[in-house]
Structure 1
Amino acid sequence: MDIFSKIKEKLSHEFIDIVEWLDYSDDTIAHRFERYQNEIKNGAKLIVREGQTAVFVNEGQLADVFTPGTYDLTTQNLPILTTLKGWKYGFNSPFKAEVYFVNTHLFTDEKWGTKNPVTLSDERFGLVEIRAFGTYAFKIADAGKFIIDIVGTDNNFTNFEINEHLKSLIATRFTDTVGEANLPIELYAANTSELSETCQEVMKPEFLSVGISLEKFYIENVSMPEDLKKEIFEYSRIDKLDLDKLTKFKTAKAIEAAAKNEGGTAGAGMGMGMGFVLAQQMGGMMGGNMNMGQQQGFPKAGGTAVPPPIPAAVQYFYAVNGTQQGPVSFEQLGTLFANRTINRDSLVWKQGMANWTALQEVEELKSFLGGNTPPPLPGA
């Protein structure tokens, strides 16, 4: 073999004949085909397997993109690179270009979560804080855009490198979405499926802007402080109960608690007040039974004259969350005020009033506001 044949044989081994990517792990998204100082031979075979896309880049500029298949790398199969290189038809020399293989399979079970609590405004509970976490799945939809915009010159790009960016994007858009949803606070935890679908639709365009397709998005849990949970549960129970029955129940509980508080002045005062209310209610029931007995022909007690019936007590209606409640007696209204079911700004109405009026503006109800202290004596 002459010297020229040896040189030709040596040079032929420096040219790449097959361009392919075999060794990749589940977390690798993009891998740059390493040539070292070798050049790709014109007519070399490019093998792109299922779940891969091959991207040719020339001096930082996107050239040709190949989907799964086997290709002969010629000027016919590299039209964009041929134009960028200024090759003429029939070019038959080795060439250099960066080749990236992109993993296009679905990356699943990626975790996300809110690093800080999300502050929301609720009509009943004011400013509240919630946290959320879940999973998402994505895949590369536009390999060329992903290589240019995200990967750059990284020779082995993994999903760990992109996850921090995606999690920050998800947390930001989740905060925006739940803020605009303006749902009652208790519905966030109860409607995670609908909220997940809405968030996914909101986030899709931003993922696609860098060549990524958001395939799945799940909110697994929406959490809130324990004291807020207790308030929500209590509110939901009250909302389902008859307020009149609830008031009587709480009155009985207050009397029981006051009785246990031996020697406690405040407890005794509360017990007496509640006892008066309960006694009046029971007296009214007993009086009603006596009148009914007389109407049915039973003799009057002791044969003495029976006084006329006591005038009917004034009945009040009140509003809670825009809903009319009642009627209740003056004492029951006082108990509702003491239990903070209503407040000084709550609207009330009784027979004879032209319109609904704030409690604090009704003369006989001002005693609820703590105005029971008499004015100073004249000349004091």
Structure 2
Amino acid sequence: MCEFHQILKSGEAQICNAMRIFNKIKGNNIEKIAWKGASDVLFWRYPNLEANVVEAQLMVKENQLAVVISKKQETELYGKGQYTIAPESKTIFFVSTKPFLNVHWQTHTSQACIEDNEFGKVCIEMQGIYSFRITDKISDFIIGVFHQNTSISCQDLEEKLNQLLVANFVSYLTRSKVALLDLTTNLEEFSAEFTLAVGEYMEQNGVKVIDFQLKSMLFPEQISKKIKQMSTQKQPQGATLPPPLPQEGMYYIAICGMQRGPFTIIELEELKKQGILNRGTLVWTVGMPHWDIAEKQNQLIPIFHATLGA
């Protein structure tokens, strides 16, 4: 969750007094526009420009994005740097693009109901965490969330993101038709697959989901007992089972020092397009004595063939 969870909402005057952490310098009818940022604030709207301003200088810092909307409702985006903008600009707001980590999400029983071959229809409560950041692909979704507000905290946006992510996750869970017993023993792999699956959709909405994790599931009591019993029966008494072997032709990959997968060749091609997989990425599959870089694997060479130097 965000470090802070409260933001003053009792009128623009109070908000400006509490959060007016910006640098507004006036001289010779030149207005300099900047925002110092705050630890849990995603968005901050700059107060309207003064009527007598003849030149407006916009200063955007690292991990910020400025959005300028003209009176004609034309939108321009500005990354790090200093710019001269039209003084008649109607709306100016700043967006923090830094990562927001470990945001909590959860479903309610009625939200996640799936059909399982073993147990029939089962409604589950699930919870976990994810991390995200706002991208430079500012969409109607982001502008719609921000446009009518003076400022938005991380917690304010979490509610809308959670609605989107939970709805997509439940849909993905239903389409995948994964067995509940398999799901309970492969939470990490299933989470990684969903992060990839939902990534493109969320980025179209201006949000990059960095790591979506399913941490726990709560089943109806009778189902929970049966799953526990079936899991116990599969394990030889007094023995520790090794992790299941990946399917042949599927690869594990190392991302940020963590093992992910296994992935099919088609899924690896998609990872390549997203910039997650490259020639130097460490991979492993059945039959390999140790991890090695992707470009040395004959089965993966076609993935990189189209774009030399990737």
Shared fold per TM-score greater than 0.5: yes
CA distance in 2, matches of 1:144, 1:168: 19
Match of 1:165, SS state, is: helix
**Higher relative contact order at CA 8 Å, sep ≥6: structure 1 or structure 2?**
2
Aligned-pair Cα RMSD in Å: 2.6
Corresponding residue of 1:132: 126
Query: Counterpart amino acid of 1:110?
Result: V
Instruction: Measure, in 2, the Cα distance between the counterparts of 1:36 and 1:148.
Output: 20
**In structure 1, what residue type is equivalent to 2:45?**
R
Query: Please, which of 36, 45, 57 is the counterpart of residue 32 of structure 1?
Result: 45
Cα deviation, 1:312-371, whole Å, max 9, x if unaligned, reads: xxxxxxxxxxxxxxxxxxxxxxxxxxxxxxxxxxxxxxxxxxxxxxxxxxxxxxxxxxxx
Structure 2: which amino acid aligns with 1:156? S
- Whether the aligned pair in 1 keeps the contact of 2:69 and 2:89 (CA below 8 Å) is no
CA distance in structure 2 between the partners assigned to 1:114 and 1:201 by the alignment: 20
Q: In the alignment, does 2:32 pair up with 1:18?
A: yes
User: What pairs up with 1:333-348 in 2 under 5 angstroms?
Assistant: none
Tell me which amino acid in the other structure corresponds to 2:60.
Answer: V
Aligned counterpart for 1:156 among listed residues 151, 155, 168: 151
Give yes or no for the alignment of 1:68 onto 2:80.
yes
Q: In 2, distance between residues paired with 1:36 and 1:184?
A: 58
TM-score calculated relative to the size of structure 2: 0.60
AA aligned to 1:109 is N
Query: Which of 116, 119, 122 is the aligned partner of 2:116?
Result: 122
Contact residue 97 and residue 135 of structure 2 kept, 8 A: yes
CA spacing shift, 1:155–1:123, aligned 2, 3 Å: same
Residue equivalent to 1:54: 66
Q: Secondary structure at the match of 1:115?
A: coil
Task: Give the number of aligned pairs.
Answer: 209
Matched residue of 1:179: which SS?
helix
* Residues 40/196 of structure 1: CA separation in 2 closer, same or farther (3 Å cut): farther
Instruction: Tell me the alpha carbon deviations over residues 181-207 of structure 1, each in whole angstroms, 9 at most, x when there is no partner.
Output: 222221212111111112222322332
Q: How many percent of aligned residue pairs carry the same amino acid? A: 23
Match of 1:250 in 2: none
* 1:58 Cα deviation from its structure 2 partner: 0.8
For residues 236 and 47 of structure 1, do their structure 2 counterparts lie closer, same or farther at Cα, with a shift above 3 Å needed? closer
CA separation of 1:56 and 1:225: change in aligned 2, threshold 3 A: same
Whole-angstrom distance in 1 between the partners of 2:78 and 2:199: 25
In the alignment, is the contact (CA less than 8 A) between 2:137 and 2:203 conserved in 1? no
* Whole-angstrom distance in 1 between the partners of 2:149 and 2:28: 24
Give unmatched runs, 5+ long, in structure 1. 1-11, 82-93, 242-380
- The answer as to whether partners of 1:39 and 1:96 remain within 8 angstroms in 2 is no
Greater share of residues in helix = 1
